[in-house]
Structure 1
């Protein structure tokens, strides 16, 4: 039974001022939402694919029209600067438009059987999709999961993170009118609401983007119900700096990867291995870059304290802070860009996901050792290697156990890319055309005339 929770109260991470409060969904509201989604599914699945695509285009247009107001909420609730919040919303609009085009052409296969029979592999919607989305990129991530699920004929119950409930609710309001009643619903709440949705008997897919521990609970819940789990559970993404690259350029890449959005990007750089030939120049340039970097606040003081705890543990274990590493005076959840040298594999900043503006650096004697260290650990979301040696580049991308490997750029990539995380970082495709496959299931059909031995 879901315990009724207190209202969710949000403070602006930049100023500490109260943003607002929202009531957490009750047990009855959760049950009603799931039941409505189940009742709405037959009509929506029978809606022509082209009409579902048109509905998604209408939703994208509504989101574009409401982007400015949503970006303001996003900024005050999560601390993401207004221009970055707008860019993230634009990405969400583009994602909805892409799935509006991809959905109607999502197809199965015909097979070569006997002359008198037809054999087909037909994709079908799975049913009710529960989407549990994060606070660090709440619009773009939600649009990906919602868009792929709806355009393939599923109904969606969306719970945004309790750290950005106003952003999630406003997104739901903007998209809602493009679809029939019950096809897309939004519920607010914390872990108890998420757990109830993840373990609900009416859920056919539970798509979760967030922390490892929550993802593990989602996987256990779906194992009990038989629902499909689609998980992106965070990472501890390494950056490997080879001995033949410009150390100043490499430091700028490392700063961007470590400090953009205060290190609160799923594929942020979490740990750095630098060739000893480059170490002194690299560390000096990275420290200078960190001091220049304009870092937005972390999402809240609770998360800021977790980041600082990782840093404090590293310092106590022998690491050295070249810049940052202190909680500033004043309101909000600010934390400076921090560079740590002398780090070792057993430190939390190297072994776990810190998810803050921290660049922990370990010096390695050669590329091979750095690659061994980069492979270390239980995560496998993304990794980056900076090298001028094509043999090293090929060795790195083939060896690194990560869903995404970037060579000579910490961010970027062609549209439509999709990857499967490794280890505790998750399972399944979370983006691209392949996400349509995750949201559907395949039925094999054999057609033959009566009396034929097809």
Structure 2
């Protein structure tokens, strides 16, 4: 069963267009693959009114019925899985394997995460004189602002807990990758009552209007740190609550006891999956000097086996950067490396005659700690390798950043790796693995990498108000 060819806003269960539209570009070819409407302020008001009207009945449903709706949503997504995979490849520049992983993760988040999580009342005291109950009450009309790099799964990360706790949602997808989000919300109308889930495509102005709207009670955002700050400012007047999952400059620390050949593929995919456009991808890899050359050479050798190209072609392992803005940003990092004379162990040269937003897999060989490529996040297929020889020093360097989203430690001495991991200032620290997520594992950032967490009971609670009820006999 194929999707319809239209990509329209969904308000109160109905498809809605607008006078102004914006193109969506295939990053592999730079061809326009669709147009989506730019929602107006009036349409935003209509969507929020529809959501407000739908909220009381949805919140009053027994949680078991909302959980069942999550299962139905997951099954609907599974039924159309091939369509979602194809769309992710075209709008996101993802390989088929990666697009399939994303779509299947979204299915699981609905069918298992959303279907199993709940916040039952908690009895704190039950005596002859008094009973004290804690209730978790849905917030109301919420905004979900989603990014371009994982436009389907990161939206579902927000929708499953928001809906199962009884909230209603307005989704505002990235203008660079709105198509899969629109199609999921369109399909969801087969399961959800009108107004419970709405979607509005648009630019930064729509996002600002959404965040400033007095009836928006909560805003969940995945995006850059700069965007997160803007959203906090917009939300402040109405004291709308925010959860922000923002940028990162994620360090990996490689201990001297690793096996370079075994490690290389793991480091490669932890760094270059989705062309490095993952908020928790490895952004700077600190390698002990005893194994630096061996790890570098093994990583370069493995990287040479991976083809960068149009994801619709066979044998391609890494696709393009998703949009022109990101493409220009990544190129600025390469230009800075060249200007400062840093050595490339691999890559570094963009083919400007090639159509598509392609950046070669680039590995920068031991640049200075204060270099742009070490201190900032390129969000593309470029990574610096940096030597270390003193444990205290490398921990200090790993933490010497405004970011604190994720980190990893790699080595056979697990006790040493764990001791280092406990001193890293980030919301997630993986040991001998990376990019592992689960609806029961809290996920959030320290410092400028975010506020609050997604997933787990803590993430579920963030979609609710906590109410204490006391009953005097």
* TM-score normalised over the length of structure 1: 0.94
Partner of 2:304, secondary structure, is: helix
Partner of 2:73: 59
Provide the residue aligned with 2:279 in structure 1: 266
2: CA distance, partners of 1:288 / 1:355: 22
**Which residues in structure 2 correspond to 1:341-360 (within 5 Å)?**
341-360=365-384
| Structure 2 residue 345 is matched with structure 1 residue 322 | yes
Cα 1:395–1:48, aligned 2, differ >3 Å: closer, same or farther? same
Is 2:358 the counterpart of 1:303? Answer: no
- Report how far residue 236 of structure 1 moved: 0.8
Alignment partner of 2:209 out of 192, 196, 205: 196
**1:339 aligns to what SS in structure 2?**
strand
Which aligned pairs between 1:420-435 and structure 2 lie closer than 5 A?
A: 420-435=444-459
Task: Give me the whole-angstrom Cα distance separating, in 2, the residues matched to 1:194 and 1:5.
Answer: 18
Q: Tell me how far apart the structure 1 counterparts of residues 302 and 422 of structure 2 sit (CA, whole Å).
A: 31
CA shift for structure 1 position 318: 3.3
How far does residue 114 in structure 1 lie from its aligned partner after superposition? 4.5
Q: Which moved more, 1:33-42 or 1:118-127?
A: 33-42
- The separation in 2 between residues aligned to 1:127 and 1:99, in whole angstroms, is 21
CA contact (8 A) 2:151 2:178 kept: no
Measured after TM superposition, the shift of residue 250 of structure 1 is 3.0
Distance 1:229 1:315 in 2: 40
Residue in 2 that maps onto 1:81: 95
Indicate conservation of the 8 Å contact 1:23/1:189, yes or no: yes
2:230 is equivalent to residue 217 of structure 1: yes
- Whether the aligned pair in 2 keeps the contact of 1:53 and 1:99 (CA below 8 Å) is no
**Contact 1:276–1:366 (CA under 8 A) maintained in structure 2:** no
CA contact (8 A) 2:418 2:431 kept: no
Alpha-carbon distance in structure 1 between the residues aligned to 2:19 and 2:387: 48
**TM-score normalised according to structure 2 size:** 0.90
Q: Determine helix, strand or coil for the equivalent of 1:118.
A: strand
Greater CA deviation, 87-96 or 364-373?
364-373
Q: Which residue matches 2:12?
A: none
What corresponds to 2:11 in structure 1? Answer: none
Q: What is the rounded CA distance, in whole Å, between the counterparts of 1:96 and 1:355 in structure 2? A: 28
Native 8 Å contact 1:66 1:174 kept in 2: no
Instruction: Specify every segment of 5 or more residues in structure 1 that has no aligned partner in the other structure, as ranges.
Output: 450-454
Q: Is the 8 A contact 1:300 1:332 kept in 2?
A: no
1:333 aligns to what SS in structure 2?
coil
Verify the 8 A CA contact 2:95 2:318 in the aligned structure 1.
no
Q: Is the 8 A contact 1:102 1:433 kept in 2?
A: no
- Answer yes or no: is 1:91 the counterpart of 2:114: no
Contact kept? 2:454, 2:460, Cα under 8 Å: no
In 1: Cα distance, 2:249 partner to 2:437 partner? 20
1:12 aligned partner? 26
Counterparts of 1:391 and 1:116 in 2: how far apart (Å)?
Answer: 51
- Partner residue, 1:276: 289
Give the total of aligned pairs. 445
SS at match of 1:138: coil
Q: Distance in 1 between matches of 2:443 and 2:325?
A: 31
Cα distance in 2 for partners of 1:138, 1:413 equals: 16
| Contact 1:275–1:370 under 8 Å retained in 2 | no
| 1:380-424 deviation per Cα after TM superposition (whole angstroms, max 9, x unaligned) | 110011122234212222110111101111333666211331011
Residue 134 of structure 1 aligns to a residue whose secondary structure is coil
Instruction: Answer with 346-355 or 373-382: which moved more.
Output: 346-355
Quick check: 1:275–1:365 contact (8 Å CA) kept in 2? yes
Structure 1 equivalent of residue 435 of structure 2: 411
Shift of 1:5: 9.4
Instruction: Give deviations 1:296-342, integer Å, cap 9, x for gaps.
Output: 11102321121111122123223211111111231111111101013
Equivalent position SS for 1:64: helix
Structure 2 counterpart of 1:246, from 249, 259, 276: 259
Match of 1:366 among 380, 390, 393: 390
- Give the unaligned 5+ runs of structure 2: 1-17, 307-316
| Aligned residue number for residue 153 of structure 1 | 166
Q: Counterparts of 2:275 and 2:108 in 1: how far apart (Å)?
A: 24
Shift of 1:375: 1.2
The match for 1:288 is: 301
Identify the range of structure 1 (317-326 vs 111-120) with the bigger mean alpha-carbon deviation: 111-120
Q: CA deviation at 1:351?
A: 1.2
Question: How far does residue 79 in structure 1 lie from its aligned partner after superposition?
Answer: 0.4
1:42 matched residue in structure 2: 56
TM-fit CA distance, 1:113: 5.8
